[in-house]
Structure 1
Amino acid sequence: MLALLGRWTAGHRMFVLAGWVVIALAGAVFGGTVYDRTRSVDSLRPDAESAVAQARIDRLAPEGERVVAVIAGRDFNATALVDNASRVMFDIRAIPGVATVTDAYTAGSGQVAADNRSSLVTVELRPELSDAEALAVADRVAAALHRIDAPEVRVGGELLAERTFGEQAVRDAAVGEGVALVVLCGVLAVVLGGLLVGSLPLVTALGTVAATLLALTGLAAVVPVSEYAVNVVTLLGLGLAVDYSLLIVTRFREERAADREATVPDLLARTVATAGRAVLVSGLAVGAALAGLFAFAEPLLAAMALGGALVVCLATLAGLTLVPALVALTHRRIPAPRLRAARNGRGAAGGGLARLAGAAQRRPVLVAAAVTAGLAVLSLPLLGVTLANSDARSLPAGSEERLAYEAVERDFAKWTTQPVTVLIEANATDPPAAALLTRIRELTGEAELDVRTGLPPDVTVVDLRPAGPADGAPAQRLVRQLRALDAPVPLLVAGPAAELIDARSSVASRLPVAVAVIVAATALLLFALTGSVVVPVKALCMNVLTLLATLGVLVAVFQWGWGAALLGFQPWGALDLTTPLLLFVFIFGLSMDYEVFLLARIKEEWDRRTAQDRAANDRAVLTGIAATGPVVTTAALAVGIVFLGFALGDLVAVKEIGVGMTIAVLLDVTVVRGLLLPAVMSLLGAANWWRLGRRPAGHHGPGEPVRAGTAAR
């Protein structure tokens, strides 16, 4: 089937290219509007307890967005400052859409720092404003606040921080993609031996990204899509498109070198039948990993899973159609490969990966033990990981919203920290509710509770303010204690700490389902590819080692701050809660990418061997790695460049993904695929192919009989 597709694509190359040109142009014209359709997406399911409680409170007593500002650098009591700031506060109250203004100049709030040189202003907007209207009012408020004659006026708040996050995401995407494409162009031209052949993966990547943006634009009309999701999805699309292009182009060059008399349609038929099969299996494996992400059912992750599924389908389609069409069009300008695979299974000429594999096969026990131990050591920091929801601290260090957030947390936390909110479905004077309030006072040590007023008589809402950050350890401990109470009336707990606990609980409860989906799907795909039940288990174990080691390094870098100055960010003491989940999916997907590339070729070599013994296994492994090593190494280098381009961005959450994927790719292609895989396969010997089933000597597996000389390409 795939051979027919390759032959048809070669014969209808202009038709295929025209179709992709139309898609790319549509993506260029309409796909860019996806950023106008993106919006903030909740990271918590709507049926979580904290989400249910907050939704109920919002219906009973809706609150508007808030703009906060810190006025600093001048004595609070300076006459000129008092006069100037007071006039500004009255001007802000007159702005349509402003509900209340709380400040120390005109409202007597007392929100002045201990050094008497900074004060806090909180402006609440009307709750009925739409998002666009609230942003317009917030901009007018910010402009007015900046008229205050003080050395430092930092304006922020969640609304403005979210907009800055979105705008920075767009800038980071532009910079990341631009840098990656420019560097890739040079690297691929050098590695593949020419500017034209080096540009083929880039053309494919651009077509895939344009098609992805177009698809995401349509998706945004159906489900919420965030700017963060667009960044991550385009990052994945770039990496996969480059990988698949390299595999097809490299295999075409090998097929042509082995049979110079064959026609282009015949060569592309063989190319797509072999390398195309690896592309298809890899795409299905990455798609299965994204299905696991969808199993978490969180709105943000679900949107990323849908977007990722789109980009995987498009990258796979491009690898099977666009790349062969481009090769058919430009085949005369594609140079012959400069490296030959091993001719005898030893002394491999397949590049650095083959040399590593040869060394691993000579001392398989030592290499397997050393690599496993090394990866285990790298994963140790994961034991102390802290996961939290990103806030303004994930913005660039110099952004005004982050500076405002840090100033508020430093000097005014006792006034602004979001509380742990308790919703009691009863009147506070009813005996059961009164008894419950007494138990809450005893639990918190508070003499008086902050009970909200103006609510219906059958509802009581209490705000509690434990020490520390809104989602810190004391607040989380209080949430757990409140939920553990044997309440005589319905009780729900909301607030940042409750949301974080609910998010972690949701992930933990659904993680087994996600893991089961990914493991089962990838194991079945590898079994279909190799016919072995041992190879899939080995591959999954190695993927887990890569994932754990990568996450351990990320904890050391982003939570502990190792190398933070070099990477240009300020650590905030935690990883974003979604980072391990996304890396779990993407690392599994791309690791399977390289696993499939190598195993497909190793399996071909094994099928060619007359003797089905340990020696034949070792020769098949080394020859397969020698043949595929250059393309896997080049693909890893290219993907590493793509992810490093995104690591240059200023958003810490995106930087975590970029750095994490770069580390994972480097670990996977060097120590895992270059050392651990051949060492373990050498130790297992012919047992690797248990339940594979014997085939006649010289059989090529699915496809055509072996041609003379093909075993040593």
Structure 2
Amino acid sequence: MLAGLGRAMYVRRFVVIAVWVVVAVAGAVFGGGVYDRTESMGTLPADAPAAVAQHRLDELAPEGERLVAVISGREVGAIALINSVTRIAYEIRALPGVAEVDDSYTTGNRRISTDQRASLITVELRPGLSDDEASRVAEQVSAALRRIDAPEILIGGELPAERDFADQAVRDAAVGESVALVCVALLLIVLLGGVLAGLLPLAAAVGAVTATLLALIGLASLLPVSDYTVNVVTLLGIGLAVDYSLLMIARFREERAADPRVAVPELLARTVGSAGRAVLVSGSAVAAALVGLFAFGGPLLSAMALGGALVVVLATVAGLTLVPALIAIAHRRIPARGRWRQRGPGLLARLAGFAQRRPGAVALTVTAGLLVLSAPLFFVQFGNSDVRVLPSSSEARQTHDAVRERFADPPKQPLTVVVEAAPDRPDVQRLFDIVEQLPGVSDVYPRSGLPPGVSAADVVPAGAEDGPQAQKLVADLRALDTPAPLLVAGPAAELADAKRSVAARLPVALAIIVVATGALLFALTRSVVVPVKAIAMNLLTLLATMGVLVAVFQWGWGAGVLGFEPWGALDLTTPLLLFVFGFGLSMDYEVFLLARIKQEWDRRTGDDAAANDRAVLAGITAAGPVVTTAALAIGIVFLGFVLGELVAVKEIGVGMAVAVLLDVTVVRGLLLPATMSLLGRWNWWRPGARTEAPPPLVPAG
């Protein structure tokens, strides 16, 4: 079937290319509109206790969005400043859509900085405003605040932070994709030995990404999509499309070199028939890994899974249709030998030869090294990304930092306890007294104005609003012996529930990914041992990568070089996305190598350990240059996104670059051949397979 597809791509090459050109143009023109449809979302499933609590609280006492302004630069007692703030505060109160204004001069709350040169103004918008209405009112409030007679005015809050995040995501995507595509183009032109040959994989990447942007516009009309989703998904699409293109080009070169007299349609049939199988298996493995994200149930991860599945399908389709069609037209301009076909064995072949000579020592050393790299995971702290992941140039971030640094008792978002019982009941009053005495509680403020039969209180944690102490306080509150059902809402409750949800659903996600990828590798190799070993090596790679991320982004090692400020934690979504994308891409290279190793094993002249070693070395020698070039290209793609300003995207970019580097060098170059040499013919064992004498566990000689 795949061979027939290759012939069809030759016959209909102009039609296929024309269709992809139309898609690319439409994606370039309309695809950017996806950012207008994105929205902020979290990782918390709708049935999580904190989500249920927040929903109940919104029913009882809905609150609007808040803007926070820091007015600074002159003495807070200056008459001109007092008059200006007072006048503007009353103007803002009169704006339609404003619910409340809290400042240091017209209300009883004194919010003055420790140096007496700054004050806070908090503006709450009316509950129930639509997103567009809230944005319009927020702009009017901001414009009024900026008319205050003060040298410096900073305006922040959730709405400005979301706007800054969206704007920064667009800029990061533009910079990251542009730099990545230019650098990858230069690399491929050099390694493939020609301009046209080097640009061919980039054409496939552009086609896949633009098609994905169009698909995401449709997806955004069905469910929420975040800016973060768009950035990460386009990054994945570029990498996969380049990988699949390189595999196709390399296979076409081999088929043409093996028999130059064969016509191009037959060469494409052989190319797609062999390399296309590896592309299909690889794409299916990556898609299976993305399906695992659905097991976590959160809106952000579900959107990421759907977006990722779209880009994997489109990158696979581009690899099986657009790339063969481009080869059919440009085959004369594809050199017979590029720089990736250097004289003598390539890097992976040399590493493999070294590993096969000392399989036991290499396997032990590499495994120990990867485990050492993963050691920082014992100290990992996870958090939900907030304004702290924005760059220091963001006004919302500057406002947040100014509030935290300049005010002795900065306002923080508290935990809110909701009890389904009347506040005048003695047992409810005793409950709130007990809450006030709990460790880690700074203040308790009972709420008023609630419907009959319901009580609520804001519980201010002593430390950070979502830090470890606040998360422990959530557990303590839920463990209380209460007179009626008790719910806890707030940032710490959301983070605690998100972590608990991830831990509970992780085995299901792992089972989906492991079973699906294991089955695909079994279909490719007809072996039980090889898939198990491949999955174990992928897990080692990802553990080591996560350890590096903890050292870099939590501890701040190299933060100055990478241009970010560590905030003491990793985003909770980072390990999940890194696991899925890293696992999928590692399987990508695994499939490329194993497909060729299996082909060499099937052509072996013996079935002993020596024949196994010959098959492994021959397969890595043949496929190694493709894998090395693909790894260099995709590493550049990921590093291009490190140039962005959003810390969450930097985490994914650095993590994927590290994962690719480890995977293609120490894992595929050393650990894979070493373990295959140790297992010998047992690599190819499967239930029911006929065996003769027990094979040796180490290579002969």
TM-score under structure 1 normalisation? 0.94
Aligned counterparts, 1:295-374, within 5 A: 295-338=295-338, 349-374=344-369
- When structure 1 is superposed on structure 2, of 175-184 and 405-414 the one drifting more is 405-414
Q: Alpha-carbon deviation of 1:95? A: 2.5
Match of 1:485 among 466, 469, 480: 480
Q: What one-letter code is carried by the residue in structure 2 that aligns with 1:140?
A: Q
Displacement of 1:164 in angstroms is 0.8
Provide the residue aligned with 1:550 in structure 2: 545
Mark the CA change 1:637 to 1:106 in structure 2 (over 3 Å): closer, same or farther: same
| 1:393-446 CA-partner distances (Å, limit 9, x unpaired) | 100112110011111222447452111110000101224433433432343698
Q: CA deviation at 1:278?
A: 0.6
CA contact (8 A) 2:73 2:118 kept: yes
2:491 corresponds to: 496
How far apart are residue 29 of structure 1 and its match?
Answer: 2.9
Query: 3-state DSSP class of the match of 1:156?
Result: strand
Q: CA deviation at 1:18?
A: 2.0
Which residue does the alignment assign to 1:474? 469
Tell me, what secondary structure is at the counterpart of 1:396?
coil
- Distance in 1 (CA, whole Å) between partners of 2:632 and 2:596 is 20
1:89 lines up with 2:84 in the alignment: no
- Which residue number in structure 2 is paired with residue 43 of structure 1? 43
Query: What secondary structure does 1:416 align onto?
Result: coil
Are residues 1:570 and 2:565 paired?
Answer: yes
| TM alignment of 1:501-520, pairs within 5 A | 501-520=496-515
Per the alignment, residue 701 of structure 1 pairs with none
**Contact 2:471–2:493 (8 Å) recurs in 1:** yes
Aligned to 2:75: 75
1:219-238 deviation digits (Å, cap 9, x = unpaired): 11101101110111111101
Distance 2:672 2:681 in 1: 14
In structure 2, what is the Cα distance between the partners aligned to 1:75 and 1:171? 38
Q: Quickly say closer, same or farther: Cα 1:363–1:532, change in 2 above 3 A.
A: same
Question: How far, CA to CA, are the matches of 1:447 and 1:576 in structure 2?
Answer: 26
Runs of 5+ unmatched residues, structure 1: 343-347, 696-713
Identity of aligned residues (%): 67
| Letter aligned with residue 608 of structure 1 | R
The alpha-carbon deviation at position 694 of structure 1 amounts to 7.7
In structure 2, the partner of 1:579 is: 574
Answer yes or no: is the 8 Å Cα contact 1:350–1:629 preserved in 2: no
Q: Which of residues 659, 680, 697 is equivalent to 2:675?
A: 680
1:515 counterpart letter in structure 2: L
CA 339–390 in structure 1, closer or farther in 2 if over 3 Å, else same: closer
Q: CA deviation at 1:682?
A: 1.0
Equivalents in 1 of 2:351, 2:31: separation in Å? 43
Q: Give 1:84's aligned amino acid.
A: S
Local SS of the residue matching 1:505 = helix
> Cα deviation per residue 1:53-77 (whole Å; 9 max; x = unaligned)?
1111111111110000112232211
Query: CA distance change for structure 1 residues 541 and 119 in 2, over 3 Å: closer, same or farther?
Result: same
Task: Report the more deviating stretch, 197-206 or 91-100.
Answer: 91-100
- Given that 1:381 and 1:555 are in contact with CA atoms closer than 8 Å, whether structure 2 keeps it comes out as yes
Q: What displacement does 1:165 show?
A: 0.3
Which AA in structure 1 matches 2:617? L
Instruction: Say whether residues 1:193 and 2:193 are aligned partners.
Output: yes
Q: Which moved more, 1:245-254 or 1:446-455?
A: 446-455
Aligned to 2:243: 243
Amino acid at match of 2:447: R
The aligned counterpart of 1:165 is 165
Give CA-to-partner distance per residue, 1:30-68, whole Å, 9 cap, x none: 322111111122321111111111111111111110000
Alignment partner for residue 396 of structure 2, among 401, 405, 415? Answer: 401
Identify the residue that residue 694 of structure 2 maps to in structure 1: none
Structure 2 CA distance, aligned partners of 1:525 and 1:202? Answer: 28
Contact 2:81–2:150 (CA<8 Å) still a contact in 1? yes
1:427 aligns with 2:447: no
Compute the displacement of 1:693 (Å). 8.1
Match of 1:12 in 2: 12
Deviation at 1:100, TM superposition (A): 1.1
Q: Cα–Cα, structure 1 residues 674 and 295, in superposed 2: closer, same or farther, change >3 Å?
A: same
> Alpha-carbon deviation of 1:340?
9.0
Counterpart of 2:455 in structure 1 is: 460
> Which consecutive unaligned segments of at least 5 residues does structure 2 have?
691-701
Structure 2: distance between partners of 1:88 and 1:428: 38
Which residue identity is paired with 2:147?
R
Who is 1:410 aligned against?
405
CA distance change for structure 1 residues 139 and 694 in 2, over 3 Å: closer, same or farther? same
Matched residue, 2:118: 118
The equivalent residue for 1:155 is 155
Q: Note if contact 1:350-1:630 (Cα within 8 Å) is conserved in structure 2.
A: no
Of 383, 392, 395 in structure 1, the residue corresponding to residue 387 of structure 2 is 392
2:608 corresponds, among 608, 613, 624, to 613
Deviates most, 199-208 or 135-144: 135-144
Q: For residue 376 of structure 1, give the secondary structure of its aligned residue in structure 2.
A: helix
Displacement of 1:81 after TM fit? 2.2
Local SS of the residue matching 1:124: strand
C-alpha contact 2:216 2:307 (8 A) present in aligned 1 = yes
Q: Scaled by the length of structure 2, what TM-score is found? A: 0.96
Question: Structure 2: which amino acid aligns with 1:556?
Answer: A
CA displacement 1:83-136 (0-9 Å, x = unmatched)? 332222223223222211111122231111222122111011111321111112
Q: Is the 8 A contact 2:33 2:217 kept in 1?
A: yes
- Determine whether 1:603 maps to 2:592: no
Range 146-155 or range 523-532, more displaced: 146-155
Give the aligned partner of residue 635 of structure 1: 630
Are 1:204 and 2:184 an aligned pair? Answer: no
Partner deviation per Cα, 1:492-532 (whole Å, 9 max, x = no partner):
11110000000001100100000000000011111110011
What SS does the aligned partner of 1:70 have? strand
Alignment of 1:656-695 (within 5 A): 656-691=651-686
How far 1:28 sits from its partner (Å)? 2.3
- Indicate how the Cα distance of structure 1 residues 24 and 655 shifts in structure 2: closer, same or farther if over 3 A, else same: same
Distance 1:445 1:242, change over 3 A: closer
- Per the TM alignment, residue 454 of structure 1 is displaced from its structure 2 partner at its CA by 0.8
Residue 645 of structure 2 is aligned with which of 647, 650, 656? 650
Q: Which amino acid aligns with 1:47?
A: D
Contact 2:444 2:457 in 1 (8 A): yes
Name the CA distance, whole Å, in 2 between partners of 1:212 and 1:397.
31
8 Å Cα contact 2:341/2:625 also seen in 1 = no
Corresponding residue SS for 2:417? strand
The equivalent residue for 2:618 is 623
Code of the aligned partner of 1:542: M
Matches of 1:186 and 1:75 in 2, distance apart? 57
Amino acid at match of 1:87: R
Alpha-carbon separation, structure 2, partners of 1:522 and 1:414: 52
Partner amino acid, structure 1, of 2:350: R
Secondary structure of the corresponding residue to residue 569 of structure 1:
coil
Secondary structure of 1:283's partner?
Answer: helix
Secondary structure in 2 aligned to 1:464?
Answer: strand
- Alpha-carbon deviation of 1:645? 0.8
Q: 1:622 is matched by which residue type in structure 2?
A: L
Q: Secondary structure at the match of 1:155?
A: strand
Q: Describe the shift of the 1:504–1:644 C-alpha distance in structure 2 as closer, same or farther (beyond 3 A).
A: same
Residue by residue over 1:433-478, the C-alpha shift from the partner in whole angstroms, topping out at 9 and shown as x without a partner, is: 3343343234369898411111111110111112111111221121
Tell me the equivalent position of 2:175: 175
For residues 555-587 of structure 1, the C-alpha deviation after alignment (integer angstroms, 9 at most, x for no partner) is 111000000010011111110010000000000
Offset of residue 294 of structure 1: 1.2
